[in-house]
Amino acid sequence: MSADRAETTGPYERVEIFDTTLRDGEQSPGISLNTQEKVEIASQLARLGVDVIEAGFPITSPGDFEAVQAISRTVSGPVVCGLARTQKGDIDAAWGAVKDAERPRIHTFISTSDIHIEHQLRTDRDDVRGQARAAVAHARELCEDVEFSPMDATRADVGFTAEVCGIAIAEGAGVINIPDTVGYTTPAEYTAYLTRLYELLPELADVRLSVHCHDDLGLAVANSFAGVLAGARQVECAVNGIGERAGNCSLEEIVMLLRTRRVDHGLDTGLETTEIARTSRMVSRFTGYVVQPNKAVVGRNAFAHESGIHQDGVLKERTTFEIMDARDVGLDSNQIVLGKHSGRHALKDALEQLGFVVEGNALNQAFKRFKELADKKKQVTSLDLEAIVSDEMREASQKYELAWFEVEAGTRREPAARVGVTTPAGEEVQGSSGGDGPVDAVFGAIQAAVDTRCELSRYLVSAVGEGDDALGEVTVMLRAHGRLASGQGVSTDIIEASAQAYVRAIANALDGAAVREAESVAADAASASPFPPGP
């Protein structure tokens, strides 16, 4: 990396964080984020201090275009990036979505591995060279900041990859990303590959080198770190490591690896790490992807000590068994913030401290939910407020809503449930069903009400906070109309939370099926090629 492109964070050289939670992360099975949720996540990423937000793949759907455009017009601070294949229509769509951003970027890609060129692209190397040249040149005409990725680079011939990247640099790309698209490489191989790339392509030292690693072999963070040590100064990652297949390099892990060991390697990021835990919770809540208890940095057990020896050591001196402070990643945020008699102004102020700007009718609804919760709980914490505001956002975006439910169950009688569901037309439809238990009976009744057959894939219940009066948060993932979709619900009543989650999952499945059908018709009319997943 050239001296004029080098940046520092205090005494340390800066590694930029390129967050792809809203693009690659949303490609995880069952995730369906609406525009408002994406804007909220992007706003939180800005508070976290990421350098680049890859907001989506605008050409893939009107909804994705709308979300990227909304983020571009709303979020300030980070670069806002749109992904595009090397086709002109993709690049024009990406520019249309990001052009209103404070700092826009177009990210275009094409495969350089022979297996992709032959079987996916069904073309040859000459065509790849030509497509890369035309795409970067066109993107550069529209936008000053252009990134280029040779997809599946780690399984490609390094000489050919260097040639294609050289073409991209010559046409004006300022960032070159070398993705391990299928999570195949190892740290030693990745280091050797990048070292050889620098030898074959001296111009690489004049631009920013980026790494994008997938976790198929559990090496995404290790490979990304190896890439940084080999000269990369941008890491592409996702909150909680979500993404295609086994996921991406985990943002929280690579950031805290760089921060914790910065004295040894001389590198750091510009992130406000105390926002990490809150960002992780928000992404988990909106996506329905629960963070495993033993997840590094943000898992429930990340700073827990079961062993007596460990507990004794930490009580005497925290650093005996903890290499990070929980407060450094924001895990001390379960403090009590409001009581039963707190007013609307106090709630608004507390929500703003948590990063939520809630006004008008949205504030009225949040206040109503807060009062209902305060009547049931002795103490309301910031975690509770995050949960109910996120839940209100989901409810506001849903076309189907749970109106009411009744359920009877016991050890001496078969469960029976009746529900009412409000449809997009504002009508109430009702259904009834038995089941293996009260929750199963409610699920059956919801299916009967909306006349949709579903296959339950996952059902998870977790507590928000601690104590007997903790909120219950339920995540449901189901398959309906050929689509995997998830939904979440929050309540002190687990059956109510389960019913909310199930209705929302069905709504997401039906909405996604309708969008997919419309896009399929449009794609057939335009004879469009299928979309690859991206780097």
Residue 527 lies in a domain: no
Residue 533 lies in a domain: no
Residues 151 and 237 occupy one common structural domain: yes
Of the three residues 376, 395, 414, the one that is the final residue of a domain is 395
Band the pLDDT of 313: cuts 50, 70, 90. Answer: low
| pTM of the predicted model over 0.75 | yes
Higher pLDDT, 99 or 392: 99
Count: domains in the chain: 4
Q: Helix, strand, coil: what percent of the chain each, to 5? A: 45, 20, 30
Residues 325 and 457 occupy one common structural domain: no
Residues 93 and 35 occupy one common structural domain: yes
Predicted pLDDT at 526: 37
Residues 341 and 363 occupy one common structural domain: yes
Residue 102 lies in a domain: yes
97-106, 340-349, 426-435: least confident range = 340-349
How confident is the model over 59-79, as pLDDT tens digits?
A: 999 999 999 999 999 999 999
Band the pLDDT of 300: cuts 50, 70, 90. Answer: confident
Average pLDDT score over the chain: 88
Residue 369 lies in a domain: yes
Band the pLDDT of 517: cuts 50, 70, 90. Answer: very low
Band the pLDDT of 82: cuts 50, 70, 90. Answer: very high
Residue 2 lies in a domain: no
Residues 235 and 281 occupy one common structural domain: yes
Residue 441 lies in a domain: yes
Domain holding 62, by residue range, is 8-287
Residues 67 and 116 occupy one common structural domain: yes
Residues 37 and 142 occupy one common structural domain: yes
Residues 391 and 319 occupy one common structural domain: no
Mean pLDDT, residues 516-535:
53
Predicted pLDDT at 331: 78
281-285, 330-334, 442-446, 473-477: least confident range = 330-334
Q: Round to whole Å and give the CA distance between 335 and 379.
A: 10
Residues 350 and 424 occupy one common structural domain: no
How confident is the model over 195-236, as pLDDT tens digits?
A: 999 999 999 999 999 999 999 999 999 999 999 999 999 999
Residues 369 and 493 occupy one common structural domain: no
Band the pLDDT of 117: cuts 50, 70, 90. Answer: very high
Residue 165, pLDDT > 80, answer: yes
- Domain containing residue 175: CATH number: 3.20.20.70
Residues 132 and 234 occupy one common structural domain: yes
How confident is the model over 15-73, as pLDDT tens digits?
A: 999 999 999 998 888 888 889 899 999 999 999 999 999 999 999 999 999 999 999 99
- Domain containing residue 414: CATH number: 3.30.160.270
Residue 309, pLDDT > 60, answer: no
Residues 307 and 323 occupy one common structural domain: yes
Range 84-87, long-range pairs (CB < 8 A, 24+ positions): 84/57, 84/58, 84/59, 84/108, 84/109, 84/135, 84/139, 85/59, 85/109, 85/110, 85/135, 85/531, 85/532, 86/110, 86/131, 86/132, 86/134, 86/135, 87/59, 87/135
CB 513 within 8 A of CB 486: no
Band the pLDDT of 519: cuts 50, 70, 90. Answer: very low
